Structure 1
Amino acid sequence: MFTTIQQFIEEYGQESANTQKLLYALTDESLSREIAPGYRTLGHLAWHLVPSGGLLHPTGLKFEAPDERSEAPSSAAAIAEAYRAASQSLIDAVRNQWTDAKLQETATVFGQPWKNGLTLHVFQKHEIHHRGQLTILMRQAGLPVTGVYGPTKEEWAALGMEAPV
C-alpha cells in the first residue's frame, strides 16, 4: 500500500515508463494477434493497459482518460499515445488532488472498504500483471521485447553475454 503521494509518483512513474517502452514496440499489424481464438488480442490487451476510471473511480480521483468501454484503436501509435497521456494525467491528478492523508481514506472497491493507498497499489499491480501478458503475446507476434526487471535474452546477447538459464 502506498502511504505517501511521492512514493506512488516515483514508483508508478518507473512502472509506466516500462509499460510505455513495450507499447512503442507494437505495430498496427500486431494488434490483431491473439493467443487463441476467443481470447484478447494484443491490441485489446494493450488498450486495457491505458489507465481509465475503472478501479480508481470509487476513490473520486478525476483524470483525463479514454472511456474504458471504448473500442481499441487500430493504430499502435494511438494506443501508445493514449497510454502516455492517461498515465501522466493520473500522476498529475494524484499529485494535485490528494494528500498523504487522502491515501488513508477508504472507498468501497469490489464491495470491500479499501484505503486509497491500497487501491493505487492494486491498480499498479493490475497493470504489471497485464504487462506480463503483453510481453508473451509480443514474443509470439515476433515483436522485440524490452527488459523490465532485467535484460531480455536479446539484451544479454547485445551485452556479449549468454542469458542465464
Structure 2
Amino acid sequence: MHTASVQQNILEELDRELAVTRQVLECVPTDHFDYQPHPKSMKLGQLSSHIVNLLKFKQLFIEGSERDFLDTSAPKPPPSPTSSEELLARFDQFSADLRQALHDSSDEKLGETFQLRRGEQVLMDRPKGAALRIMGLNHSIHHRGQLTVYLRLLDIPVPGVYGPSADAMGGF
C-alpha cells in the first residue's frame, strides 16, 4: 500500500478548498463591496480581499522561515480589488502561485520550522506543513464561512461547501 506524502495530502486538501472558495467568491457582487453586517465586521469587499490575500500568506509559510508582524520592511498586501472580476483574477493568480510553491516543496521542507512573531514575542512556532494547515487553510475556511453568512444576509444564493446548501436544495 502506498501512502501519500505530507506534500501530496496538503496539495489535495488545498485543491478542494480552493475550488470551493472560488465558487463562494464568484457570488460576491461588486455593487455590495461596501456591505457591512455589523460595525465590528469587515465590509464584504474587505473580507473577500482578505480571503484572497491569505493565499500569499500561506505561500510565505512554504517559502519562508518566519514572519515578524513588526517588520516594517515586509511586503504589504496589495490594495483591495474594486470589482468582482479583479477579485477573481487575483484569486486565480495567487492560487496558482501557492500551488506552484507547494508543488516545488517537499515533505522535508514542510517539516522545517516556521515562526510567526511580533518582535521578540513568538506567536507560533510549528513545522511549515502544520502552519499551512492551521494558520493557513483553517484561517481561510473560517473567513469563507463568514463570507457565506454575508451572502445569506444579502439574500444571495450560497453555493454548497461541504455538501449541498439550502439554496441548492430549494430551501428547507
Matches within 5 A, 1:145-156: 145-156=158-169
Confirm or deny that 1:109 pairs with 2:116: yes
Question: Secondary structure at 2:169's aligned position in 1?
Answer: helix
Partner of 2:157: 144
Q: 1:47 aligns with which of 36, 43, 49?
A: 49
* Structure 1 residue 38, shift from structure 2 partner: 4.8
- The worse-fitting range, judged by mean Cα deviation, of 131-140 and 72-81 is 72-81
The answer (yes or no) to whether the contact 1:135–1:145 under 8 Å persists in 2 is yes
Specify whether residues 100 and 55 from structure 1 end up closer, same or farther in structure 2 by C-alpha distance, changes over 3 A only. Answer: closer
Question: 1:58, 1:24 → 2: CA distance?
Answer: 26
The answer (yes or no) to whether the contact 1:54–1:68 under 8 Å persists in 2 is no
Stretches of 4+ aligned residues off by more than 4 angstroms: none
TM-score in terms of structure 1 length:
0.83
Partner of 2:132: 120
Question: 1:43, 1:49 → 2: CA distance?
Answer: 10
Confirm or deny that 1:71 pairs with 2:79: yes
Q: 1:31 aligns with which of 12, 21, 33?
A: 33
The answer (yes or no) to whether the contact 2:62–2:132 under 8 Å persists in 1 is no
Q: Gaps (5+ residues) in structure 2? A: 65-74
Code of the residue aligned with 1:81 in structure 2: it is A
Question: Secondary structure at 1:49's aligned position in 2?
Answer: helix
* Alpha-carbon displacement from aligned partner over 1:19-67 (angstroms, at most 9, x marks no partner): 0001111111111111113531011000001134436536535xxxxx6
Code of the residue aligned with 2:85 in structure 1: it is A
Q: Gaps (5+ residues) in structure 1? A: 62-66
* Structure 1 residue 84, shift from structure 2 partner: 1.5
* Structure 1 residue 90, shift from structure 2 partner: 0.1
Root-mean-square deviation (Å): 2.1
- Which structure shows the higher strand fraction? 2
Matched-pair identity in %:
28
Partner of 2:17: 15
Question: Secondary structure at 1:144's aligned position in 2?
Answer: coil
* Alpha-carbon displacement from aligned partner over 1:110-135 (angstroms, at most 9, x marks no partner): 41321011111020001000000000
